[in-house]
Amino acid sequence: MKLDLKHPSLEQRNEYLSFAKDWADHEEEITPYSARLLGRSYEEWLAGTLRMEREAPERFVCAHTFFLTDEAGKILGAVNIRHELNGELLKSGGHIGYGIRPSERRKGYAVRMLALALPIAEQLGIARALITCDKENIASARTILRNGGVLENELALDGRTVQRYWIGPRQSQCGAF
């Protein structure tokens, strides 16, 4: 199956609403955070998301958000690539955050999405990408490891343990599918 990372667009509005409903039906918050509407219309969210690529509000950093889509245009997941790290992102969050819609998990899409995101991060000037996950999120840790992630350390934050992985240039073992 051919998968692509696509910039969000107005044409994806209905597909995004299906994506969001999938998360709500599973009683989960959309991951990454950047893919949440947060009370805005899709059009307002889209404008804000595209603006974040060149300017960020205080306490945030510029970032690109992409949807992982299949050949039919179905949104399978979302990935957020942050151009730099602030103090919070250095501890938890990292350069890249991602999530697969609940009904499409356990099909290898997260591994493929991260593999597609890493060259984009490199084009944005990120020589080494920090990617974090909760220690209990074994699937995310496997995704990171399959893409060449090297565990640097674990941090105790707000009652949870965060694992911090680094992926250097061209370390992804998955390539572009």
Q: Tokens in use for 65?
A: 């958000």
Give the tens place of pLDDT for each residue, 70-92.
Answer: 999 999 999 999 999 999 999 99
3-state class (DSSP) for residue 129: strand
CA distances from 159 to 92, 130, 134, 153, 162 (A): 13, 21, 11, 16, 10
Give the tens place of pLDDT for each residue, 8-37.
Answer: 999 999 999 999 999 999 999 999 999 999
Q: Which of the two residues, 172 and 126, has the higher pLDDT score?
A: 126
